[in-house]
Amino acid sequence: MKKITILDLKAKKARGERITMLTAYSYPFAHFIDESEIDAVLVGDSLGMVELGYESTLPVTMEEMLHHTQAVKRAVRRAFLIGDMPFMSYQTSTEEAVKNACLFMKAGCDAVKLEGGTEVVDKIEAIVKAGVPVLGHIGLTPQRIAQLGGYKVQGKDIKTAQKLLQDAQELERAGVFGIVIECVPYQLTKLITQRCSVITIGIGSGPYCDGQVLVINDLLGITIGHKPKFVKSYANLASQIKEAISQFQKEVKEGSFPDLGHAYSLSDELWQEIKRITDSK
């Protein structure tokens, strides 16, 4: 299958064709996603909460992100691959931001994502100038959760709504190819999408974006902990996983697994010869 490029994503927006994106943190899930012809895969720093058991995304390191990115890259042949720049990988200096963005590209990414609006414009401009495509992220930005006062819908008053629209326009001017809009009222999201020429990808922001992204664990129904209102689970694998584990435990305890159908064997002739030799010693 043909590899999806940034030009393909822009062409989809121009045609009014919806863009599909999912997160992936491991080789197996990335393999299934890529085979399903999803347009883009995001190795999100949400792996901190989803896969590593952290309470937020803040503890996630560059080393952890690159480790998971490389695993995902081994499976992704078709989809556009985006690496999520973790907390403190771009906030400290422009030089550090460019260096870390380039490390994601060396790990096999097609682009990077970073959170924030006007306050990160200088970092985005430098990263883009270095030849690295950037996906912006506004609205609920988990790396700023302490500043936001929790995981809350953003843009619910005039001041913050104006700020979000300004952020989107500033990110476009800085050179992003697209913007993730998270947990923003759908009316405001629609306005941002209409006012910006770049791709908009929604999560918890209604149907009026150019595309949608979900966390793969949420989609499959294996969310651990709180499940956000905006999540739609297309399967309930959690119950099947628990049932399978319980059945394994039961069969091992009662001795029905493994049976001889799940074991390797020797030919009778070879076994008799082995017995003859061992018995003679």
pLDDT for 227: 87
Instruction: Give me the DSSP letters along 135-159.
Output: EEEEES-GGGHHHHTSS-----SHH
Strand, coil or helix: what is 84? strand
Burial class for 169, CB neighbours closer than 10 Å (0-12, 13-18, 19+): middle
Query: What length does the chain have?
Result: 281
pLDDT for 143: 95
Structural domain includes residue 170: yes
Structural domain includes residue 160: yes
Structural domain includes residue 164: yes
Structural domain includes residue 1: no
Q: Are residues 77 and 108 in the same domain?
A: yes
Cβ-contact 196, 177 below 8 angstroms: no
Q: Are residues 33 and 156 in the same domain?
A: yes
Q: Are residues 131 and 253 in the same domain?
A: no
Cβ-contact 118, 136 below 8 angstroms: no
Catalytic machinery residues: 182
Q: Are residues 246 and 216 in the same domain?
A: no
Q: Are residues 180 and 207 in the same domain?
A: yes
Structural domain includes residue 143: yes
Q: Are residues 45 and 145 in the same domain?
A: yes
Orientation angle between helical segments 27-35 and 62-73, nearest 10 degrees:
50
Sign of CA pseudo-dihedral 260, 266, 272, 276: negative
Structural domain includes residue 12: yes
DSSP conformational letter for 279 = H
- 147: domain range? 6-235
Q: Are residues 104 and 225 in the same domain?
A: yes
Structural domain includes residue 83: yes
Sign of CA pseudo-dihedral 141, 142, 143, 148: positive
For 79, residues 6+ apart whose C-beta sits below 8 A from its C-beta are 4, 33, 34, 38, 39, 40, 41
Q: Are residues 70 and 195 in the same domain?
A: yes
**At 71, which CATH number?**
3.20.20.60
Q: Are residues 265 and 133 in the same domain?
A: no
Dihedral angle of Cα 58, 62, 65, 66, to the nearest 10 degrees: 180
pLDDT for 281: 66
pLDDT for 39: 98
Q: Are residues 60 and 145 in the same domain?
A: yes
Cβ-contact 143, 85 below 8 angstroms: no
pLDDT for 134: 98
Q: Are residues 130 and 267 in the same domain?
A: no
pLDDT for 203: 98
Task: State how many domains the chain has.
Answer: 2
Structural domain includes residue 161: yes
pLDDT tens per residue across all 281 residues of the chain: 799 999 999 999 999 999 999 999 999 999 999 999 999 999 999 999 999 999 999 999 999 999 999 999 999 999 999 999 999 999 999 999 999 999 999 999 999 999 999 999 999 999 999 999 999 999 999 999 888 888 899 999 999 999 999 999 999 999 999 999 999 999 999 999 999 999 999 999 999 999 999 999 999 999 998 888 899 999 999 999 999 999 999 999 999 999 999 999 999 999 999 999 998 76
Q: Are residues 229 and 263 in the same domain?
A: no
Rounded to two decimals, the pTM is 0.94
pLDDT for 258: 96
Q: Could you tell me the CA-to-CA distances from 247 to 69, 218, 239, 277 in Å, in that order?
A: 34, 24, 12, 41
